[in-house]
Amino acid sequence: MNQMQQSPINTGNEPPTKFADAYAELQRIAAALKPEQGKIPDVDAIEPLVKRANILAKYCQDRIDAVRKLVDEQQEHG
């Protein structure tokens, strides 16, 4: 049984409310998208995962950027 069948992955448009949850989900998607030796990828199953991964990656990057900005501001005032 492959990763996509073992743990369902959210395919909605809203990211989790916590960075750790979004990052963990992104890691699950990455594992599910790893090609299996000798198997033809199921494009219909991959498409929603890639869309979800893009949402999660943007959310994670936005959170990292926001924290980086706060750190920079603290260093300027500190």
Q: What is the CA radius of gyration of the chain?
A: 16
* Residue located via tokens 């909605």: 12
Residue 78 has pLDDT above 50, yes or no: yes
Q: What is the pTM of this model?
A: 0.78
Kindly report, residue by residue over 22-63, the tens digit of the pLDDT. Answer: 999 999 999 999 888 888 888 899 999 999 999 999 999 999
* Residue located via tokens 């869309």: 51
Q: What pLDDT is recorded for position 31?
A: 92
Q: What pLDDT is recorded for position 8?
A: 59
Three-class SS state of 65: helix
